[in-house]
Structure formats: C-alpha cells, structure tokens
C-alpha cells in the first residue's frame, strides 16, 4: 500500500536553499518526507537509481521510500553500519552495485542514512562516471544538521578521517524529522554537538537559546528540534554559499574537528561517534582559546555537558595527537591551522597562534 | 650530476594554454623538459610532492627529474606497468604513499608516465584531501597528445573502462618529446590513433597532412612529431576550453572510444593497447557512418592502416559488445549515443541514428 502512512509532508515542512549558481539545491526539513516524496522526487534524475543505505536504517525506511517513489525502480546497496566501514573497500561495493544497476549519467544515487552513508554514497556519486546526481536523505540528527548539507563527501584512510573524497553537491536534501524519534540516545546527543557548534562559531543568540531549550531538545520536542535543525542548516547554507570549496570561511565549520578527527583515528574508527569526538575536540579548542586569553573554556564545556556529551579526551598521547593533526586538511606550510574561539559566537581559523597554547592543551588533555 | 645532460628546454619548446578561467594551465611541448624543469617547476605547489610512475618509466626518468627539481624533496610511488593495474586497488597504494609523504593541500602529485599513470595519479590527486594540485609529465605519444590534457582522470571498473574518476585539471602539462625516442614501436603507433582522431573529427587539412607525413612520423622525425603533437593539443585545448565537463562537444573526442572501450574490457584490460582499441573502434564508427550513407569507411581505414594500426575487431560477440557499450558514459535514456563521422574532418555525437547501422556494424565486425 503506497499510502499506508498519513501523508504529512508539507504540513510543517521548511525549505531552505543552498545558493551555488547552477549547483543550487533545496534543503527540505519536516516530518514524513520519506513517506511522501512529492516535494522532492521531481529533483531526481530520470534514469536508474541506486539507494545506498545500511543494515540499521534500511529495514525500517526502505519500504516507505519504495512506496513513496511508486513507479520508480530502485536498486539497493545495503552496507554494514558504522564509521569503521567508511572505507575504499566499502566504496568498491557501491561501485559494483552502480554497475549492476546500470546507473549512467542520467541516473543517480539516494543516500539514505547518517553521516557515514551520506559521505560514502556521495563520494561514490561524485566518482561514478566522473559524477552522477545524488539526493541526501539523512536519518540522523548529525546528518540532518551538518553532513548532508554542503557537498563534502569522503571515505576515511588509515592515517586520517575523510582524507579521500570530493566536493560534490547533492540535487536535494530531504531531512525527515520523523526519523529522529527512534534514533538511539547516544547518536541523538552526538548530533547536538554539531548544533552547538553553529552557535559557538556564528550565533551567540542561538547558543543562548540552545542552553535554555536543552531539556526540550533532549526530550525531542518537535518544535524545539525543528528550530535547532533549521537554524543549523541556515548557518551552514550561508557559509557554504560563500565558500563552497573551503578556501577560507568554511573552515570555521571545522571547530573541534582537528582535535576530534585525531581522537577518532587514534581510538579506532567507530570507538567514538563523530559528534562525541567533535564535542571533546571543541572543549580542547576552547581550552587552547582560553590559553590565548580569548574566552572561558568552562562556558563552552557547560553547554556540551548539558547535552550529555563527553568533554574529557581519551589519553591518546601528545605525540600521536600531533602526528594525526598534521594530516589535517587545513595544514599549510607544515603548520597546523586551528579553529579557535575569540568569544562565544565568534570563531577564527588561524595558523598564527602561540604554539604553547596548543602544546599546553594537549599536555593537559591527552598526555 | 644535475647537469649531466644538455639543457635544451626552451630551444624548440612550444607552449599552448588550456583556457579555463581560474583553472587555466600551460601545455609545454619540447625536448629536454624532464631534464630541465625551469619552464614549469614554478607551477608546482610549494609543499611535499609525490611522483607517481611505473616500473618501466621510473628507472630511466626519475633520476633526471630529481636532478631537474634539485632542492625539492620528492617521494616516489612506483606502480606496476599496464592497463590491468589501473584499478581501485592500485589507487589505494597511491593514497598510502600520499599519506606517508605527508602531502597536504599545499603539496601535490607529479604524474610521470603514460595514460595509465596519468589517469590514475590524476584521480588520486583529485580525491586526496578532496583535491590537491598535480602536474602531468607524459612520456608516451598517446599521453602527450591526449590523456594528459583536459583533466579527465579515472580508474577502470570490471564492468567498463574509466568508470570511476573525476574532472580535475592539472597545474601544468610538460611533454618531453625526448621520451618518444625510446618508446616501443607498438606504443608509438597506438598514440598515432589519437593523433589521427583529431584530424577525423575536426581538421581535414591536418588529416591530409598526416597521411603524407606518415613515413616521417613513423621514423619519429622531430619536426613531424612536433607538428603532430602541437596540432593535436591545439584541437583538444579548443574543445576542452569550450566544454570542460563534456556536456556536449567534448564527447566528439570519444570517436572510436565507445566501441574501443568495449573491446578493451571484453578482451581483458591490457590485451589491447588503448590506442589500438581506439583504432579498431574508429573503423567501426566509420562503418556505422558508411551504413548511414555519410562517408566511406575505406578512407578512414586507410589512414589508420598506414600508421600500422590494427583495423579488424576481435570477435567478442554482438551481445557482449552491446552489454559493454550500454555502460558507456554517453548513454542517455538507455540509448547508446555514438560519435559518428559525417565526412572526413567532421564528427557528430548522436543517439538519433538508425539502430540497424549499429547492429549491422557489430554483426559484420564482432559476431
């Protein structure tokens, strides 16, 4: 039955636009978007489609997606779940599925899942036949507020996170907020780390609102969630629209990520959820900022802790941390550039900082 | 000794430009360009560099490249030789080498070799950290006239040639014509297939000149070679400058490639050299064109045969050929689009042809 579920899309749906000339696309946020594709199916290419998803997300959501897309034939590629599978080897499986499904340049990919699925399926779409269209259908909070928006795609390398990838914009992002109701608590909280990030780097009023609204967010109240997701996507859309390929401002979105990626890689992919590592990394960035006399680390830590996020780093060692941070994509002339906080709501990316602030932070946090 | 060889670059060097706004770059053609990097080294990024080459090309050319780049530290990644190694597995080795060499976005890749090395190293550069700079240092005729120019990068998939890749323009192409002196005869002739292609699709006068100049070209006379390479690169530069991402006109450069890729894949990568398969594919495209009443296949076959190229297809079977052709990147709406010849010097890309011309050609050539 194609209409077994109530068709609610449109009722409270919000629409934003990523403004990138001929690569512009809409972000749709609202309940029921997977069960009712009327608002976004027209954005899909006309040829064969491959849905890339994982073993956790596929079983509950594939049937409603199939029903929503009705007459369209969809091939499937169901991957194992987790960051440990965001590899070239898994990517090769997606290419095999694309070949089997005869996806050509008039076809495309649907990325149904969280950040791992979106990043990997997006890179597959970027590379298959040198680029086919794809839609992001994010089902986790982290993917809905961050990874599905902006066209960064990648897989991991043993030496670092997201080191192999492409900039490739999706043709549409459809974030079905119904999917958040069943998200495991730990994953939900991990997504809040990226939401808080937007407040920290750009919007002190949003940050203040997040702090007061945190109980409602943690209770997953729809109105609070909708506001948090919308504002997150707005900030990201603004920044990506001005700096698609991260020549400057876009690097601010990496607050907490240089430290966080090092923690994820050192601990083994999958040990920490990405959002958890970002939370810890954000505290470390705040500590380095405090050591430069810029703001109080405690103010940052308090918001993250209120979201139930970890704030203490695992003891991966100073040398290992530095080695991994040197693989960061922001390194320039051998210098690790950091995203630091001037004050709450204002971030800077800089390689021009007192080295002792970085070493002191690592000594205190990971030694 | 850094100057053991005479420094001849510049003496008879030719310079063309690929005009792509902020992605524009020079193509340098001439003797001694690997031994004397003064004309192109300034185009390289300032950070760590990785040379990607193969077991055949590396030993003779790496020492002179090292000498030419003097103080620059170069890491090396030496791959096995041949089309059979243009795979994701080999690509993974290049990523490992990039990590070991600590190549960040301020570093880059030097692709030293023929089309396989250039395509694979270029794709590695396109994907590493979502894109680092690379230079094409082509050492075969085919790479100098075609694959090193225009930013198409790729590896093969079991189901078809070049199905996984990216558009990523190099920062410079430096084609050292000295390298052609020692190129094996079979590889040299394979390169002539792409030279002849430019005449067939765009320039009847060049085609006529090629036919008369063929004995000199086969004797590798420097003046004839220089003219052939220059004109080939000019035609390619014009077309790529107008249609970088193959939305239209650039597909003309695929004359003979839809048939040719099917032959390469069916026979097993490496059995036929790419240029040989293109020669056979060009004869098949000419036959299909003749069946449409457009030109005489014999006129096309004669030029290719004069270059010592194969013109008869292996009997891969009509069904297998069609199956492989349907994986072609030019397929649209399930329809195989073909590059056909209206007359000598004028090609068209079209899906609007009498199917019997294609089937008749396959029956006659591969059944």
pLDDT in tens, A250-303: 999 999 999 999 999 999 999 999 999 999 999 999 999 999 999 999 999 999
pLDDT tens-digit profile of A302-327? 999 999 999 999 999 999 999 999 98
Q: Does the pLDDT value for residue B9 go beyond 60? A: no
What DSSP state is assigned to residue B335?
B
pLDDT higher than threshold 90 for residue A334: no
Compute the nearest-CA separation of B100 from chain A (Å).
Answer: 9
Catalytic residue check, B274: yes
Q: Are A256 and A195 in contact (CB under 8 A)?
A: no
The answer to whether residues A149 and A3 touch, using CB atoms and an 8 Å cutoff, is no
Q: Are B309 and B192 in contact (CB under 8 A)?
A: yes
B127·A165 Cβ contact <8 A: yes
A151 touches chain B (CB under 8 A): no
Mean pLDDT of B46-69: 97
For residue B11, the model assigns a pLDDT of 58
Q: What H or E segment, with its residue span, contains residue A52?
A: strand A49-54
Selecting among B230, B274, B329, B337, the annotated active-site residue is B274
Give the strand pairing for B49-54 and B25-30.
unpaired
In sequence order, which residues have a C-beta less than 8 Å from that of residue A229 and are 6 or more positions away? A29, A141, A144, A145, A175, A177, A195
Query: What residues pair up with A134 in beta bridges, in sequence order?
Result: A109
Is A128's Cβ below 8 Å from some Cβ in B? yes
* A161: closest chain B residue by CA: B129
A162-215 per-position pLDDT tens digit = 999 999 999 999 999 999 999 999 999 999 999 999 999 999 999 999 999 999
DSSP class of residue B143 equals I
Name, in order, each residue with C-beta under 8 angstroms of B219's C-beta and a sequence gap of 6 or more: none
pLDDT for residue A4 = 35
Residue appearing with tokens 């950290």: B129
Is the Cβ–Cβ distance between A33 and A175 less than 8 Å?
A: yes
Which band of pLDDT confidence, cut at 50, 70 and 90, is reported for residue B208?
very high
pLDDT of residue A339: 97
User: Span B180-188, mean pLDDT?
Assistant: 97
Give the SS3 label for residue A291.
helix
Residue A119 CB neighbour total at 10 angstroms: 26
Cβ distance B205 to B220 under 8 Å?
A: no
Q: DSSP characters for A117-149?
A: HHHHHHHHHHHBTT--EEEEEE-SHHIIIIITS
Report chain A's mean pLDDT, rounded to a whole number.
Answer: 95
Q: How many CB pairs under 8 A join A and B?
A: 101
Where does the pLDDT of residue B5 fall: very low under 50, low under 70, confident under 90, or very high at 90 and above? very low
Assess whether A247 carries a catalytic annotation. no
Q: B344 is written with which tokens?
A: 């000598």
- Answer yes or no: A236 catalytic: yes
DSSP line for B177-204: GGGGGGS-HHHHHHHHHHHHHHHHHH-H
Rounded-to-integer distance, Cα A127 and Cα A122, Å: 9
Measure the CA–CA gap between A253 and A242, rounded to whole angstroms. Answer: 13
Q: What are phi and psi of B29, to 5 degrees?
A: -130, 125
Strand partners, A17: A26
Give mean pLDDT, residues B32-58.
97
Q: What is the ipTM of this complex?
A: 0.94
The more confidently predicted of residues B278 and B72 is B278
Which of A108, A164, A334 best tests the B interface by mutation, with the highest count of B CBs <10 A? A164
Structure tokens at B117: 């090395």
pLDDT band, residue B71 (cuts 50/70/90): confident
Specify which residues B176 forms β-bridges with: B30
pLDDT band of A11, cuts 50, 70, 90: low
Q: Which of B39, B187, B194, B264 is catalytic?
A: B194
- pLDDT class of B7 with cuts at 50, 70, 90: very low
Q: Which of B49, B108, B119, B127 to mutate to test the interface with A (most CBs of A within 10 A)?
A: B127
Cα dihedral: B348, B351, B355, B358 (round 10): 50
On whether any CB of chain B is under 8 Å from the CB of A20, the answer is no
Residue B2 has pLDDT above 60, yes or no: no
Q: How many C-beta atoms lie closer than 10 Å to residue B321's C-beta?
A: 25
Residues 6+ apart with CB under 8 A from A221: none
pLDDT band at A331; cut points 50, 70, 90: confident
pLDDT of A2 reads 34
Both tokens assigned to B8: 């001849």
- Strand arrangement, sheet containing A49-54: A14-18, A25-30, A172-176, A133-138, A108-113, A49-54, A74-79
| DSSP H or E segment with residue B324 | helix B318-325
What pLDDT is recorded for position B130? 97
**Predicted confidence (pLDDT) at residue A8 exceeds the cutoff of 50:** no
Taking CA atoms, B216 is separated from B223, B228, B291, in Å, by 9, 11, 33
């Amino acid at each position: 039955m194609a209409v077994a579920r109530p068709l609610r899309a449109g009722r409270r749906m919000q629409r934003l636009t990523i403004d990138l000339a001929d690569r512009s696309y809409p972000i749709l946020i609202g309940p029921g978007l997977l069960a009712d594709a009327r608002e976004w199916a027209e954005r899909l290419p006309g040829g064969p489609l491959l849905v890339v998803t994982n073993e956790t997300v596929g079983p509950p959501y594939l049937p409603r997606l199939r029903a929503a897309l009705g007459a369209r034939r969809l091939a499937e590629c169901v991957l194992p779940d987790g960051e440990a599978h965001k590899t070239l080897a898994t990517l090769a499986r997606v290419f095999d599925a694309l070949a089997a499904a005869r996806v050509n340049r008039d076809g495309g990919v649907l990325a149904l899942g969280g950040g791992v699925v979106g990043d990997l399926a997006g890179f597959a779409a970027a590379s298959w036949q040198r680029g086919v269209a794809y839609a992001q259908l994010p089902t986790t909070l982290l993917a809905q507020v961050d990874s599905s928006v902006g066209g960064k795609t990648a897989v991991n390398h043993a030496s670092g996170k997201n080191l192999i990838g492409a900039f490739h914009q999706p043709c549409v992002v459809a974030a079905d907020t119904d999917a958040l109701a069943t998200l495991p608590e730990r994953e939900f909280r991990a997504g809040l780390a990226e939401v808080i990030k937007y407040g920290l780097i750009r919007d002190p009023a949003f940050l203040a609102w997040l702090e007061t609204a945190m109980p409602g967010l943690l209770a997953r109240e729809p109105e609070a969630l909708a506001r948090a997701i919308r504002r997150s996507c707005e900030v990201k859309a603004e920044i990506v629209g001005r700096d698609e390929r991260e020549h400057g401002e876009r690097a601010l979105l990496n607050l907490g990520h240089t430290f966080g990626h090092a923690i994820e890689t050192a601990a083994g992919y999958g040990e920490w959820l990405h959002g958890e590592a970002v939370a810890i990394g954000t505290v470390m960035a705040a500590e380095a900022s405090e050591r430069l006399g810029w703001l109080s680390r405690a103010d940052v830590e308090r918001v993250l802790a209120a979201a139930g996020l970890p704030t203490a780093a695992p003891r991966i060692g100073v040398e290992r941390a530095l080695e991994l941070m040197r693989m960061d994509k922001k390194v320039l002339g051998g210098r690790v550039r950091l995203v630091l906080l001037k004050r709450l709501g204002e971030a800077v990316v800089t390689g021009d900082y007192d080295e002792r602030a970085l070493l002191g932070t690592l000594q205190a946090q990971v030694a």
